[in-house]
Amino acid sequence: MPRTKSNPVGRMFFHYNLNTNESTCQVPNCKNPVRTGNHSGNLENHIKQFHKEQYGTLLREKEKNNSTYPTENCSTTNKRQKIEKTGPLDKMIIISKKTLTNVKLDKKTVVDACVQLVTTNGRPFQLLDDSGFRMIMNPIFNAIGDGFRMNSNNIKKHINEHAESIIKSIKADIDKKLISLKVDCVTRLNRSIIGVNIQYFKDEKLNIKTIGMTELFNRHTSEYLKQVLINILRKYNIDNRQVFSITCDNGANIVKMVRILNDTDEVHEDDGASSESDLDEIESPISGDTDYLTESQLNTVLLEGGDFSDFSADDLQNEIVATMSCNEQDPLTQCVRCSAHTLQLCIDNGLKVEVIKKLLTKARKVVKVLRTQSYAALLKKDCLKQAVLDNSTRWDTTYLMLIRLYEL
């Protein structure tokens, strides 16, 4: 059921034909009497524009109807009061709250928010000194009291405190656990950075954390990268033997770094390692190229070793020799080559086939012509996409170039 119209313009000056959906003006000598539909606003605009005298009559009639407004029922009154409160934006601002008395905010929340601004959100420290930021935050600082302030200088202290808490949390998570690393080097704007991610399981969930973004100042040799990586691991009390695998690209220096990671000339006091001179003085039970123990050595082992009644002399000798002659061990840390980079190299080799190489050269020439101003304008006129040129070091851009060229 349609709502009752409060504007009397329709019944006073128009006749509405439901079949044709047209309203005909009943004012004599109207030059444009037919209006589409029966919307009161459109009809009132017609009267206001073409019939000034009748428009005055309409306004008086509307005022008369408004004067009867208090006699309407309570529900209608409430609806009209709600409508009156919803007006232009300036009126809404006037009736809004002027103070924020129920905002729940404490010192820790403010510090965490400011730290997140300059770390997670990547905003510069100088933001904390900007006038607009101070205008927002100074009332909050004053409400907290005790001279509390946040600026571009003291935010660094809070960042260090947050970093230390994160480091302690990671140390506790990976204590005496096997972990995997992801290592990659990148150069941007003449600055070389090595990034290290750590992967480990906690509560049956895989956790990935970034534990290092270190700038490199020397040549990226495997020995230098190894030393940088070890320094990062020591910061988190990670022993080399905890590193189960390292995922890296196929760079020869990084692959070699993984291979020599467990090779060290350093002496750790807590490991009880002997010096090289001490090791020379210790005689091995197996001397020279002998594959078997001498009779005196075997008797010594039997006397010191307790009950060996279940073993024959030959079985015992073979067991000891097998254990002590196991000098060659597989490296503890495994190198996992990045699948995406390996795929990149495979496709690059395929694109170097002479026939394919010639076709790609021709395709690039065609694309360069299509990207000139005249041809680009023609493509745009025909509502076609522009041709794209590939980056020869990334095969996926070559694929996109060929697909776009095929579509054109």
Mean pLDDT of the region 362-383: 88
Tokens of 189: 């704007």
Please check whether residues 253 and 218 belong to one and the same domain.
Answer: yes
Classify each residue of 11-32 as buried b or exposed e, where b means 16 or more C-beta atoms within 10 Å of its C-beta: eebbeeeeeeebbebeeeebee
How far apart, in whole angstroms, are the C-alpha atoms of residue 100 and residue 84? 25
pLDDT tens string 55-111? 888 888 888 877 665 544 555 555 555 544 555 555 545 444 555 567 777 888 889
267 domain residue, yes or no = no
Q: Give the position of tokens 């026939």.
A: 355
pLDDT exceeds cutoff 70 at 241: yes
Q: Please identify, among 259, 283, 306, the residue that sits at the C-terminal boundary of a domain.
A: 259
Please check whether residues 55 and 15 belong to one and the same domain.
Answer: yes
pLDDT exceeds cutoff 60 at 112: yes
Please check whether residues 351 and 390 belong to one and the same domain.
Answer: yes
Q: Name the burial class of residue 180, with classes exposed (0-12), middle (13-18) and buried (19+) by CB atoms within 10 angstroms of its CB.
A: buried
290 domain residue, yes or no = no
352 domain residue, yes or no = yes
Which residues lie closer than 8 Å to 222 by C-beta, 6 or more apart? Answer: 253, 254, 256, 257, 259, 260
Domain count, the chain: 4
Mean pLDDT of the region 270-281: 37
How far apart, in whole angstroms, are the C-alpha atoms of residue 203 and residue 377? 59
Tell me the percentage of the chain whose pLDDT exceeds 70. 73
19 domain residue, yes or no = yes
Q: Please identify, among 259, 274, 308, the residue that sits at the C-terminal boundary of a domain.
A: 259
pLDDT band per the 50, 70, 90 thresholds, residue 317: low
- Contact in structure between 360 and 398 (CB atoms under 8 Å): yes
Neighbours of 92 (CB within 10 A): 11
Alpha-carbon torsion angle 221, 345, 187, 121, nearest 10: -130
361 domain residue, yes or no = yes
pLDDT tens string 122-133? 999 999 999 998
Please check whether residues 188 and 154 belong to one and the same domain.
Answer: no
Q: Is 262 helix (H, G, I), strand (E, B) or coil?
A: coil
Please check whether residues 62 and 116 belong to one and the same domain.
Answer: no
Please check whether residues 139 and 182 belong to one and the same domain.
Answer: no
Q: What share of the chain is helix, strand, coil (3-state, %, to 5)?
A: 50, 15, 35
Q: Give the pLDDT of residue 124.
A: 92
pLDDT tens string 18-68? 888 888 888 888 888 888 888 888 888 888 888 888 888 888 888 887 766
Q: Give the pLDDT of residue 265.
A: 45
- Contact in structure between 382 and 335 (CB atoms under 8 Å): no
180 domain residue, yes or no = yes
Least confident of 223-232, 266-275, 296-305: 266-275
More confident residue, 358 or 9: 358
Q: Give the pLDDT of residue 249.
A: 84
How far apart, in whole angstroms, are the C-alpha atoms of residue 290 and residue 284? 11
pLDDT tens string 320-357? 555 545 454 555 677 888 888 888 888 888 888 888 88
- Contact in structure between 338 and 359 (CB atoms under 8 Å): no
306 domain residue, yes or no = no
How would you list the strands of the sheet with 34-36, edge to edge?
Answer: 14-17, 22-25, 34-36
Least confident of 198-202, 261-265, 345-349, 385-389: 261-265
Neighbours of 9 (CB within 10 A): 25
Residue 360's domain comprises 339-407
How far apart, in whole angstroms, are the C-alpha atoms of residue 44 and residue 2? 20
Q: What is the CATH number of the domain that holds 243?
A: 3.30.420.40
Beta strands in 11-149 (DSSP E): 14-17, 22-25, 34-36
Please check whether residues 188 and 239 belong to one and the same domain.
Answer: yes
More confident residue, 330 or 272: 330
- Contact in structure between 199 and 206 (CB atoms under 8 Å): yes
pLDDT band per the 50, 70, 90 thresholds, residue 160: very high
Q: Is 194 helix (H, G, I), strand (E, B) or coil?
A: strand
Please check whether residues 83 and 124 belong to one and the same domain.
Answer: no
Q: State residue 283 phi and psi, 5-degree precision.
A: -90, 135
273 domain residue, yes or no = no
pLDDT exceeds cutoff 70 at 280: no
Q: Give the pLDDT of residue 269.
A: 38
Please check whether residues 224 and 189 belong to one and the same domain.
Answer: yes
Both ends of the chain: CA-CA distance in Å?
A: 56
